[in-house]
Amino acid sequence: MNSENTLRLQRFCGHEVYAVQKGEVFVNLPHEGELAILLNLEFHSGALIECTTPDDERGDEPSIEVNLPIPSLIASELVGKTVRVKKALDRARDTWNRIYVFEHEDLREIAATFVEATAEDCRLSLTARTQDPNHYDGSKPETIVKLEGWFPLAKLDEAAKSMARPPAPAKPASAKPASVRPASIKPTAAAVAAETPATEKRATRPSPRPVEPAKQTSTQQPTPTRAKQGSAKRPTPAKKTAQKLAPKPTPAKQTPPKKAPKKQPSKQVTAKKTARKLAPKPTPAKQAPPKKAPKKQPSKSTRQTPAKKRASKKAVPRKPARTATARKA
């Protein structure tokens, strides 16, 4: 069994030994108010090498995470030194020393020793205490964690180079960049006069000449053109005064467009319209009221004469008059 790259859990019911599969490194440089450099190490175990605990007590492959304050980032200066960390949680640096089997558990009383170092790796020997990973209620004795593992030094070298770089010098605020005139723009007379000394100004000062207003040949406004950047020339003071004194062109008045004359109707159309107006309007015909149907007269066979009416009245029998005896009865 190679004890130089193993993770061992000494529990109340036996021990478990795992091979360390990978070691990861993170470096936390100190900020304002912090002194130490934190070396964050994570070790992940792999295959089970040796085990004396029952199957129902054994969990998954464990992994541990520790945060060690170190005085230097150079591996040769760390060899032979031991770093001790009592607490599992550091709230000031937001770090947590822990082991993971079933759940995360705290690692306390850590003692880490840097045993040896090569050009690329460093060997660490670590011991710590935690509660039993399968009985987190504290009913069982604590578990002792022992680690013998290698971790790479590439991240330490990168952090050392970043700290060794000198800070960039700050630019002075008073220094102003010299003004550079583009080559395509010619200097004006005023600019040249401002740059020449006073002695040269007296010798090369031109005699003043009267400025004549520019003559305007046409009343139309010139069409504006977009000049290319860098090719436009700056106007001289004489041109500026000539532009101010020159009369502004009066814009030509635009005549409104003539309206098209309305088409007049032909003589035939007007004659038809007048004929329609003079024609008499047709009067509506009066509707005759509907004739009433004549009453049907009874036929001669059914018509009764006055003699027949009397005979029918006489033929009706009359009721007998009541006598005194009949009334008594």
DSSP one-letter code for 308: H
In a domain, 125, yes or no: yes
Count up the domains in the chain and report the number: 1
Residue 117 domain boundaries: 3-163
In a domain, 87, yes or no: yes
- How do residues 27-64 score in pLDDT, each as one tens digit? 999 887 777 899 999 999 999 999 999 999 998 899 99
In a domain, 94, yes or no: yes
Cα–Cα dist 49/42, whole Å: 20
3-state secondary structure of 323: coil
Q: Does residue 97 surpass a pLDDT of 90?
A: yes
In a domain, 176, yes or no: no
Burial zone of 61 (CB within 10 Å; 0-12 exposed, 13-18 middle, 19+ buried): middle
Report the predicted TM-score, pTM, of the whole model to 2 decimal places: 0.51
Closest CA to 84 of 147, 117, 43, 126: 126
In a domain, 170, yes or no: no
Question: Cβ contacts of residue 237 below 8 Å, gap of 6+?
Answer: 188, 189, 190
Cα–Cα dist 146/23, whole Å: 15
In a domain, 309, yes or no: no
In a domain, 177, yes or no: no
Q: Does residue 264 surpass a pLDDT of 70?
A: no
In a domain, 234, yes or no: no
Closest CA to 195 of 179, 183, 174: 179
pLDDT, average across residues 116-122 = 94
